[in-house]
């Protein structure tokens, strides 16, 4: 049992170093325990203390962050009854004056402090989970099979295929009622054979747990075997907001936020709403209908544009064919700001010009265009046409294919189209 489990509200703690060794194979440790905040240039140390206020992960609750002396703790894991702190050099050396710089010596006194915002947040989500789990089970018989504490949202996996809106509302109302009542949460340490364990939730203990067991109790609501750190009164949860109930593999993942996360979420949503109001120039209540109106208008505009584009393509292809200079071996047509629909209409209406190779380029966006090369029967040999087409495609960083007398490619070097035109003109001259 660690100090953090006995006194979860302790933020500063003096203790003694039991061991401190530099980790040689940082990559391996990273692979084993995931040091997400590890900077590659840092030296990594593995530190064991006589006791700790930094919680090693367990019971679904992530580990704490904090400092030992001036050194930064980037990960804490549990190995049996020992907490292993993974530690790197801190930002300031000023604390080094009192000898708290890395590496620590065995027997050295050190001061441990905790990243309290992170810990309080974890406690609020974890105790919140116990409460929702208890109420969902008591009121509707939905057992919790697992839970996940995420960076933004957390979820509780309920053993039910469905949950109604009314049930969700009832659970939310009940848990927030208990929070208003400020019900006490207590921790009791019992022996493995204590009869109290029979009535407590979650008796699937890890194999390496020996000796004493912790029972976390929300007075009058439920008892739960748990190694995590918890609030002392439900009032410290402030509020719980249930979010989405997502069906997954025959169960329900019930998303929720608890504590400060409720305020944070509300603040973010409020800001977002303000931005939307500014953009759509309307009040919050009319936002959904405003968006819907815009969507309808956009759909209609797209439809109209599609029809116009098709008509335009049909007209432009006619005009292109009218300007028929029979002496030219290459005829090029370029169009920008059109869509693939325009291009396919153009190709459909195009047909062939017997004596020339037709080069069509349609630019959709800055770095995206489609090109077509169409071989007129009397313009160039098939094999030469194939070679020339592929050259053009390479020149424009394209990917394409030849089908019959038509070569088509998607290209990205839109700026080099003029270069491709002169290449084609020169190549066809010699044919
Ligand atoms: Zn728990």
Q: Tell me the DSSP string of 249-318.
A: TTEEEEEEEETHHHHHHHHHHHHHHHHHHHHHTS-GGGHHHHHHHHHHHHHHHHHHHHHHHHHHHHHHHH
Cα 226 to ligand 1 centre (Å)? 4
Cα 388 to ligand 1 centre (Å)? 70
Residues 137, 38 contacting (CB under 8 angstroms): no
Cα 225 to ligand 1 centre (Å)? 7
Cα 374 to ligand 1 centre (Å)? 70
Cα 224 to ligand 1 centre (Å)? 7
d(CA 138, CA 295): 44
Cα 273 to ligand 1 centre (Å)? 35
d(CA 424, CA 271): 56
Cα 155 to ligand 1 centre (Å)? 13
Cα 16 to ligand 1 centre (Å)? 29
Residues 83, 56 contacting (CB under 8 angstroms): yes
CATH number of this structure's domain 309-429:
3.10.310.40
Phi, psi dihedrals of residue 69, rounded to the nearest 5°: 60, -130
Name which CATH class applies to 119-266.
alpha beta
Residues 202, 224 contacting (CB under 8 angstroms): yes
Helix (H) or strand (E) holding 331: strand 330-335
Cα 250 to ligand 1 centre (Å)? 24
Cα 356 to ligand 1 centre (Å)? 78
d(CA 49, CA 107): 9
DSSP state of 13: E
d(CA 143, CA 45): 41
Cα 17 to ligand 1 centre (Å)? 29
Cα 421 to ligand 1 centre (Å)? 70
Cα 2 to ligand 1 centre (Å)? 16
Q: Which residue carries 């936002």 as its tokens?
A: 287
Per-residue tens of pLDDT for the chain, all 431 residues: 899 999 999 999 999 999 999 998 888 888 888 887 776 667 899 999 999 999 998 888 999 999 999 899 999 999 988 999 999 886 544 444 454 678 899 999 999 999 999 999 999 999 999 999 999 999 999 999 999 999 999 999 999 999 999 999 999 999 999 999 999 999 998 888 888 888 777 755 555 666 678 899 999 999 999 999 999 999 999 999 999 999 999 999 999 999 999 999 999 999 999 999 999 999 999 999 999 999 999 999 999 988 998 899 999 999 988 886 777 899 999 999 888 889 988 998 888 788 899 999 999 887 889 999 999 998 899 999 999 999 999 999 999 999 999 999 999 999 999 999 999 999 998 77
d(CA 256, CA 175): 12
Cα 28 to ligand 1 centre (Å)? 30
Cα 114 to ligand 1 centre (Å)? 20
Cα 215 to ligand 1 centre (Å)? 9
Cα 137 to ligand 1 centre (Å)? 15
Q: How many residues does the chain have?
A: 431
d(CA 252, CA 163): 8
Cα 57 to ligand 1 centre (Å)? 11
Cα 180 to ligand 1 centre (Å)? 21
- Neighbouring residues of 271: CB distance < 8 A, sequence distance ≥ 6: none
d(CA 431, CA 429): 6
Burial 35-59 (b: 16+ CB within 10 A, else e): beebeeebebbbbbbeebbbbbbbb
CA-based nearest residue to 142, from 120, 167, 109: 167
Q: Is 352 helix (H, G, I), strand (E, B) or coil?
A: coil
Cα 34 to ligand 1 centre (Å)? 22
Cα 59 to ligand 1 centre (Å)? 5
Cα 132 to ligand 1 centre (Å)? 12
Cα 407 to ligand 1 centre (Å)? 64
Handedness of CA 341, 344, 346, 349 (dihedral sign): negative
Cα 12 to ligand 1 centre (Å)? 24
* The two structure tokens encoding residue 30: 């990273």
CATH number of this structure's domain 3-114:
2.40.30.130
* The two structure tokens encoding residue 128: 């919140």
Q: Which residues surround ligand 1, an ion (CB under 5 A)?
A: 59, 226, 228
For the chain, the domains span: 3-114, 119-266, 309-429
Cα 153 to ligand 1 centre (Å)? 17
pLDDT recorded at residue 94: 46
DSSP state of 234: G
């Amino acid at each position: 049992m660690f100090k953090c489990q006995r006194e979860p509200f302790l933020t500063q703690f003096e203790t003694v170093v039991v061991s401190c060794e530099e980790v040689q194979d940082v990559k391996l440790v990273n692979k084993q325990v995931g040091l997400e905040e590890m900077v590659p240039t840092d030296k990594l140390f593995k530190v064991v203390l006589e006791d700790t206020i930094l919680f090693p992960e367990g019971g679904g609750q992530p580990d704490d962050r904090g400092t030992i002396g001036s050194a930064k703790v980037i990960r804490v894991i549990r190995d049996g009854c020992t907490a292993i702190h993974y530690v790197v050099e801190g930002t300031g050396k000023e604390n080094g004056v009192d000898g708290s710089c890395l590496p620590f010596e065995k027997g050295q006194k050190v001061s441990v402090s905790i990243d309290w915002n992170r810990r309080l947040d974890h406690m609020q989500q974890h105790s919140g989970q116990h409460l929702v789990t208890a109420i969902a089970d008591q009121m509707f018989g939905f057992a919790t099979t697992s839970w996940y504490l995420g960076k933004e949202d957390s979820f509780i996996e309920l053993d039910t295929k469905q949950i109604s809106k009314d049930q969700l509302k009832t659970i939310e109302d009940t848990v927030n009622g208990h929070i208003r009542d400020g019900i006490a949460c207590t921790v009791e340490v019992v022996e493995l054979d204590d009869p109290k364990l029979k009535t407590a939730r979650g008796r699937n203990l890890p194999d390496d747990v020996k000796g004493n067991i912790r029972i976390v109790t929300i007075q009058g609501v439920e008892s739960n075997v748990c190694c995590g750190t918890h609030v002392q009164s439900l009032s410290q949860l402030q509020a719980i907001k249930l979010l989405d109930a997502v069906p997954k593999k025959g169960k329900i993942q019930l998303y929720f936020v608890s504590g400060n996360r409720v305020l944070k979420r509300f603040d973010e949503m409020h800001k977002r709403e303000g931005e939307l109001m500014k953009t759509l120039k309307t009040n919050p209540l009319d936002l959904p209908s405003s968006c819907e109106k815009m969507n309808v208008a956009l759909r209609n505009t797209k439809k109209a544009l599609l029809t116009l584009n098709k008509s335009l393509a049909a007209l432009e292809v006619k005009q292109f064919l009218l300007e028929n200079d029979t002496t030219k071996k290459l005829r090029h047509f370029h169009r920008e700001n059109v869509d693939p629909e325009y291009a396919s209409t153009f190709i459909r209406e195009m047909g062939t010009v017997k004596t020339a190779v037709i080069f069509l380029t349609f630019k959709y966006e800055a770095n995206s265009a489609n090109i077509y090369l169409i071989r007129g029967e009397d313009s160039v040999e098939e094999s030469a046409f194939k070679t020339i087409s592929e050259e053009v495609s390479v020149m424009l960083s394209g990917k394409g294919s030849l089908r019959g007398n038509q070569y088509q490619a998607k290209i990205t070097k839109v700026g080099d189209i003029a270069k491709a035109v002169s290449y084609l003109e020169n190549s066809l001259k010699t044919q």
